[in-house]
Each structure stands twice: as structure tokens, then as C-alpha cells.
A and B are shown apart, each in its own frame.
Chain A
Amino acid sequence: ETGVTQSPTHLIKTRGQQVTLRCSSQSGHNTVSWYQQALGQGPQFIFQYYREEENGRGNFPPRFSGLQFPNYSSELNVNALELDDSALYLCASSLSRGQEKLFFGSGTQLSVL
């Protein structure tokens, strides 16, 4: 079975721009979660998607938005980038929304200049 894959692996943007990060979930998984991991910190929950609907959101502003597609792949969109958005963005998939075992991708390293 294929694991969780994220693209791109690295990205450099300037303040005010918009960015889209992509995630392909593990085969058979219908739930995707996104996390932001700042340098030296633990991952922080952004939101989760279950069967194309948002199913829980962390303490992030509305300029962080997402999508989940019928094949359960997902996108994270961030508008009006700020310097503090520089972080590793992790995608995790699970068999279903209440499942506690998450499978993480290697992440996208976003740098905002």
C-alpha cells in the first residue's frame, strides 16, 4: 500500500502571496488532517476533512482553508502569507474520522520571506 505523500517538499514564497499544498492520503483512508509545525515546536492541528467536509478546526484564521476531493486527496490553501506562516506543514491520513492512528507524510517546508 502507498503511504501519505505531500507535494512540494519545499516552497519559498513572499509575504502577501498565496500558497497551495497537496496531500495524497494512504490507500483506503477517507480522513485527512493538516498540522503546522514551527521550528522547535510540536505540530499544531489546523483542520481535518472527512469525506470532503471539514470535521474539526484548530485555532487558525480563515485565511487557512482546505479541500478534500472525491479520491480523498487534499489541499491546504493559505492566503495573504505572513512571515510567521513559515513552518513544516504535515498531512496525516486515517481510516476514518474518529480513528486515532494517524499516518503522516514527510511534510512541505514553507518559507515566507
Chain B
Amino acid sequence: GDSVTQMEGPVTLSEEAFLTINCTYTATGYPSLFWYVQYPGEGLQLLLKATKADDKGSNKGFEATYRKETTSFHLEKGSVQVSDSAVYFCALSDPTGANSKLTFGKGITLSVRP
């Protein structure tokens, strides 16, 4: 079945450091790929998405490129801020498009210190 694997966490960085969070996936067909973010006490929010190979999703300084050859969708940000502290989830959609089901990775907690 479809699955998403994220790097083990947690990750602690100093403000303005470079961030990379790894995500690889297994899927039949051609899913869309997503990064969702969960701030403390809040629901998940869509951070960015990419719908096909070589697409780059970007939002709020975060970027991720859909790499079909390596089945990866790594999240990057050039300079993190304290406000980026949250849990980040990589996810993929149902490749059949029959419904809005998302398959999530385990998530990784990012803490950014001043």
C-alpha cells in the first residue's frame, strides 16, 4: 500500500539556520504530495503541495520539489524563525483520485531557538 517515511526527529535549530526535512514515499500511480504543519493546539494546515514530477511547491519561504526518480519530497527553508516551531507532516493523496484520502508520515517536531 501507499506509505510515507519521514526522517526521525525531533529537530532543534537556531534562528536563521538552514532547514531540511526528508520525506520519501511509496505509491502506485501518481499521487500529489503535500507538506502540512501543525502548530501547538491547532489543526493541520496545508503548507505547500506539488501535483506532478519536478513541480516545486513553495510557501512562507519553505520549498519542496517532487522527485519521481528518488520518490522524495524534501522540505527546505533557507532561514528558519522561532515562529516556524511546529510539527511537520509529509503526505500523499489517493492516486486514483476517487476521494480526498491523505496518507501521512509520522511527523517531525521542529524547535527553533532564538
Contacts and interface: CB of A to CB of B under 8 A. Distances in A.
Contact of A43 (B51, B93, B94, B104): B104
A104 B99 CA distance: 16
B107 A56 contact: no
B99 A56 contact: yes
B101 A45 contact: yes
A17 to B, nearest CB: 26
Given A42-B107, A55-B99, A58-B101, A100 B44 contact: no
A56 B97 contact: no
A31 B100 contact: yes
13 contacts: A33-B100, A42-B107, A43-B89, A43-B102, A43-B104, A92-B44, A97-B98, A98-B100, A100-B93, A101-B46, A102-B46, A102-B100, A104-B45
Interface of A: 4, 31, 33, 40-45, 48, 50, 55-56, 58, 90, 92, 94, 97-102, 104-107
